[in-house]
Amino acid sequence: MATISSLGVGAGFDTATIVAQLAAAEQTRLTPYTNRQGSFQGKISAWGQISDAMNTLRSTVEKLSGEAFTTQKISANEAFTATAGSGALSGTHQVVVTQLASAHSLATAGLKDADARLGSQNGGTRTVVIKQGPEPKEGEEDTRKEIRVELKDDETSLNQIAKEINKQGGDVSARVVSSDNGYQLILTSKKTGEVGKMSVSVEGDDALNGVLNSDPSTMKEIGKAQDAQLKVDGVPYTRSSNNITDIISGVTLNLSKVSKDQEAGEQLTLSQDTSAAKTAIQEFVKNYNAMLSLTSKASKWVPNDTSGLETDEVATQNSQNGALMGDSMLRGMVSEFRGLANGTYSDSEADIRALADIGIKIDSATGQMTLDNKKLDKALADNPEQVQQMFVGTDEAPGLASQMKDTITLYAGDEDGKVDGLIKEAKDGLDEQLKLVKTQIDKTQTLIDAQVERYRTQFQNLDSVMSQLTSTSNSLTAMLAQFSS
């Protein structure tokens, strides 16, 4: 018996699987673009990590450019404490505190009721006038600073007066206390010394002026306005505050009590704190090595694996290669840093001119630093000025830290954002390329989706044709069967 065989759906042909396989094959058209996308993203990430490491190194070289070598150890004293800042120099000073600065305070007489109105009830206003500063001499212009507080009739109680004065936010504070003498309004200058001395009166209300007036017969002085007085190295000084910054360069004196010995006073000793320099140098080695490790990782090259390849096949790049392998800017940058680290600085006659002289050894292959702490301690103990000179240098001959800071700024920019740096420029360029690749990926994906849809339509049409052929084949087979019987 003759039969008709057929292909396609009618014969159990799996068109869904075929379309899926074709779609997967089409997706490979994206591979060159996704590979480029991954490469750009890897480069941006690598530059970002290197830039962060350089900024960390920047904080260390900034210390080595100054403050690490200006930190002073300060002796402990009873009558005062001292803190050293930028510009403080090693040395000794004799300090005698003869008088502390104090703030002026005035108190009203005691009253029975803190809420009772004290002014004249005339429906008008009155003004409390508080002047601060030394009283002018006869014939001199009164240039004292004024606080003027207007009060209504219902604002003349002690509590209301205190409230209104404090609302001014000036250099006088007011409070009401309940003492053995009754309720008292206390005015206190926020400034110590003669500059804070208060003069109080009331304009437009004689009754209230009889309560609130700095005349000794009206208000009592409970805190005297006096300046601080001291001698430093035999020279007398008068200051309005116990916090003094302008006598010893770079040193702040905080006076706390009068010196017991008014002749000899106490000795203030400032000596260089080499521990701060040591810590900064240790941080420098650590942060420099961390940055160099990142650059080595980013520039790493691993040979391609050609085993198992046919003669006409080409090996692809090893996936273990660094993201910035072969980057010329990275090579130049690393060369600059290693050149600085291996350089010599200071005068040719100095004993300390290079990192090796303070115990820092540099591996010639990797550039990594190792520190001999004992040799560093000896260098700081014997020649702290030369160690400082090597790192800081001068305007004409900048030291290692100064030059390295400039190099960091060249590549990573500055902290103020005024200089972008070469790394940011490189990252911006990579970002632009990423955008272009993303656009190409989107366009290619659209084409792929359209092609897959065409495949699907073609196979749907094939499915319909095959079904019709199968039906026709079945009919013909049945007819032939009838004729042959």
Helix (H, G, I), strand (E, B) or coil at 151: strand
Most confident residue range from 19-23, 260-264, 424-428? 260-264
Residue 26 to residue 432: CA distance in whole angstroms: 27
What's the pLDDT score for residue 11? 43
Report the C-alpha gap between 40 and 46 in whole angstroms.
Answer: 10
The whole-angstrom distance between residue 345's C-alpha and the CA centroid of its chain comes to 31
Cα 171 to Cα 423: distance, rounded to the nearest angstrom: 52
Q: Which helix (H) or strand (E) holds 218?
A: none
So what's the pLDDT on residue 367? 94
- The ranges of the chain annotated as CATH 1.20.1330 are 1-71+273-301+319-485
pLDDT of the residue at 313: 53
**183 Rama class: left (phi>0) / alpha (psi -120 to 50) / beta:** beta
pLDDT above 80: residue 5: no
Q: What pLDDT, on a 0 to 100 scale, did the predictor assign at position 9?
A: 46
CB atoms under 10 Å from CB of 217, counted, come to: 8
| 0.85 surpassed by pTM | no
Task: Give the separation between CA 342 and CA 357, rounded to whole angstroms.
Answer: 11
Band of the pLDDT at 483, cuts 50, 70, 90?
confident
pLDDT at 225 over 80: yes
CA angle 159, 162, 168 (to 5 degrees): 145
CATH for 1-71+273-301+319-485? 1.20.1330
Question: Six-digit token pair at 183?
Answer: 């309720």
Q: Is the pLDDT of residue 442 over 90?
A: no
Provide the 10 A C-beta neighbour count for residue 376: 21
| pLDDT computed for residue 319 by the predictor | 64
In 3-state terms, what secondary structure has residue 317?
coil
pLDDT band at 312, cuts 50/70/90? low
Q: Domain spanning 103-226: which CATH class is it, in words?
A: mainly beta
pLDDT at 389 over 70: yes
How far apart are alpha carbons 194 and 203 in whole angstroms?
A: 24
Mean pLDDT for the chain overall: 88
Q: What pLDDT is attached to residue 22?
A: 83
CA dihedral 232, 237, 239, 242 (to 10 degrees): 20
pLDDT at 315 over 60: no
The predicted structure's pLDDT at residue 430:
87
pLDDT band at 462; cut points 50, 70, 90:
confident
Contacts of range 376-385, beta carbons closer than 8 Å, 24 or more positions apart: 376/278, 376/281, 377/278, 379/352, 380/274, 380/277, 380/278, 381/274, 383/351, 383/352, 384/69, 384/272, 384/274, 384/277
In the chain, the amino acid numbered 184 is Q
Task: Return the pLDDT at 311.
Answer: 61
What residue type is 231 in one-letter code?
K
- Please, which pLDDT band fits residue 10 given cuts at 50, 70 and 90? very low
Question: How far apart are the C-alpha atoms of 343 and 337, rounded to whole Å?
Answer: 10
Cα–Cα distance measured from residue 121 to residue 127, given in angstroms and rounded to the nearest whole number:
14
Instruction: Determine the residue type at 334.
Output: V
| 8 A C-beta contact, residue 119 and residue 156 | yes
Residues of the chain with CATH 2.60.40: 103-226
